[in-house]
Structure 1
Amino acid sequence: MMKNNHSAQAGLVALYLSIVLLALNGLFAKIIPLDALNVTQTRSVVACIMLFLVLVAQKANLRLNSLKQFIGVYGLGLVLGAHWITYFHAMQVSTVAIGMLSLFSYPVITVLIEPLFKRQVPKIADLLAAFVVFSGIFIMVSPQIISGEFDGNTVQGAFWGVTSAILFAFRNTSQKYLFPHINSITLMSHQTLVVGLVLLPFIAVEQISNMEIKDWGLLILLGCLCTALAHTLLSMSLKRLPAKSVALIGCNVPVVGGLIAWLALGEIPGVMVYIGGAVILSVAAYESLNQNK
């Protein structure tokens, strides 16, 4: 019992550290002068180099033991890359608050996905929670929908945010149940490698070459802290805590991210964004309390 408590505590520490680092993504999405695809490719390269150096220093095992593991880990790496692209795009076409709040529909999506890995049927209460969360997203975009602006920034941001949420929930839950015994750093090393390689033919060489030194500094910080370290910590927490708990506690990210965007960028969300965001976060809070009981 003591060992389990210690493992859970270690998982919580890793999770809360990852929350702080992940919350900084919104700031980087706004201040790095690259589109979502180029940011994703370059951050993956930086993260991959850092993770490989850590593995070498630790003399850790980088090998995957079978073709099945190779296909699975690299396949989930591509899903992670798609999540990053859609997430950054959501924040770039709208605001940090809308992008993050839409992404954090992923805890309820996780609640719906996780029973499938356990060969169980989702509970009615979980289905109702999903309905309420997506109602919150609709509230955020309702002003533009009512006015007929279906291509408005809020609608686009919410669409890409929810798409990113689905990808993130699928990747995290799949990784937890399919590869529980693979070292977290090893997993992230392979996944950042495949993202960097697959996106390499699509990068805007001229755009990247025109970046200033400070922009490269920001990219290195994004790759090292908010990519390599944050997602490794997240993977560590998934090994010690239920995927549902990780997702629900992770709902603190948009709160921290929105605060950072307000302080650093002066982004002030509209009233409907506040209301919709409150609905999303209240469901997550309810689920967290229910999980604790």
Structure 2
Amino acid sequence: MDPVKRSLVSLHLTVVLLGGTALFSQIISLPATDITLGRSIFAFVVLTLLVYSKRGSLVLTNIRDYVMACFLGALMAVHWVTYFAAMQYAGVSVGIIALFTFPVITVFMEPFIEKGTIHWQDILSALVVLLGIALIVPAPDLSNDITMGVLVGVFSAFLYSLRNLIHRKHFSQYSGAKAMAWQTAVICILLLPFGFNGLRVADIDDWLWLLLLGTVFTALPHALIAQSLKHLRAKTFSLVASMQPIYGVALSIIILNESPNWQTLLGGILVTSASIYETVVTHKSSKV
């Protein structure tokens, strides 16, 4: 199997795990900042062990790469905090769909960071996703928790898109585990002053959930994603990963007993349709 197809398979497998991360915003009884800090602590430990288990190290090549690692880590810190905050405002179903405006943002940001052009198919996919997001906004009122959750989710999407594009262009020479180990380390340093007290008094159940979130649902899939970005355009990654809302909404219904309305479900279908289209095109061309 060539590297592009192998990366696509790996990416699809990680989507299930990433779709499940949204559930922890409701399961863990901590603020978004504390959840992100706990998640990053466990993820950093696992990723570091993975790097050294392969006889690697966390040493980077030059000063520029250390600066880039810090910048990417800062982007991820704010992205993860706003990601969980969006879910806590609007619920998992709405929050996870709002987050997946990032394929649209990526499509239009990518030509400015990497050489390329915007095709009419990209614009069509963007319009479909925008229509899906529009369906879930109840009213243009910031006092409405769902509206606020959508806005926070869109901001989180922008940060995630920016991080993916910069990572691919300037940091993809490192393994997925090593890259994410550095980024989670930076997250821990940045958020420790804000989340230490909350974690210090957290109960054992929250710590166990954080352990699961940081290892199985964070360290593993993010290592695989960072690796796949070596062979896939950020746009393709973004649109394929848009299948996450399907898993996130389904899990929220089954595990959290959420009851999304028809607008939310239809919006999720529209967002996901763009991902399915991009995946089909990628398989046909075998060139990303």
TM-score range, shorter chain: over 0.9
1:182 to 151, 158, 174: 174
Residues 1:13 and 2:9 aligned together: yes
- What secondary structure sits across from 2:11 in the alignment? helix
- Between Structure 1 and Structure 2, how many residues are aligned? 284
Cross-structure match for 1:254: 245
Structure 1 window deviating more from structure 2 (188-197 vs 177-186): it is 177-186
In the TM superposition, what whole-angstrom CA distance separates every residue of 1:216-257 from its partner, at most 9, and x where no partner exists?
A: 111011111122111111111111222222211111111011
CA distance in 1, matches of 2:142, 2:42: 37
The answer on whether the counterparts of 1:14 and 1:236 sit within 8 Å (CA) in structure 2 is no
Unpaired stretches in structure 2, ≥5 consecutive residues: none
Report the alpha carbon displacement of residue 181 of structure 1 after superposing the two structures with TM. Answer: 1.4
Residues 1:42 and 2:44 aligned together: no
1:213 to 199, 204, 211: 204
Unpaired stretches in structure 1, ≥5 consecutive residues: none
2:217 to 218, 223, 226: 226
Cross-structure match for 2:190: 198
Cross-structure match for 2:114: 118
Residues 1:55 and 2:51 aligned together: yes
Quick one: structure 1 residues 31 and 184, their matched pair in 2 at CA, closer, same or farther if it must change by over 3 Å? same
1:157 to 149, 153, 178: 149
Quick one: structure 1 residues 78 and 92, their matched pair in 2 at CA, closer, same or farther if it must change by over 3 Å? same
- What secondary structure sits across from 1:93 in the alignment? helix
2:132 to 117, 133, 136: 136
- What secondary structure sits across from 1:65 in the alignment? coil
Question: 2:256 corresponds to which letter in structure 1?
Answer: L
Report the alpha carbon displacement of residue 88 of structure 1 after superposing the two structures with TM. Answer: 0.5
Report the alpha carbon displacement of residue 128 of structure 1 after superposing the two structures with TM. Answer: 4.2
The answer on whether the counterparts of 2:172 and 2:230 sit within 8 Å (CA) in structure 1 is yes
Report the alpha carbon displacement of residue 169 of structure 1 after superposing the two structures with TM. Answer: 1.0
Cross-structure match for 2:228: 237
CA distance in 1, matches of 2:228, 2:117: 25
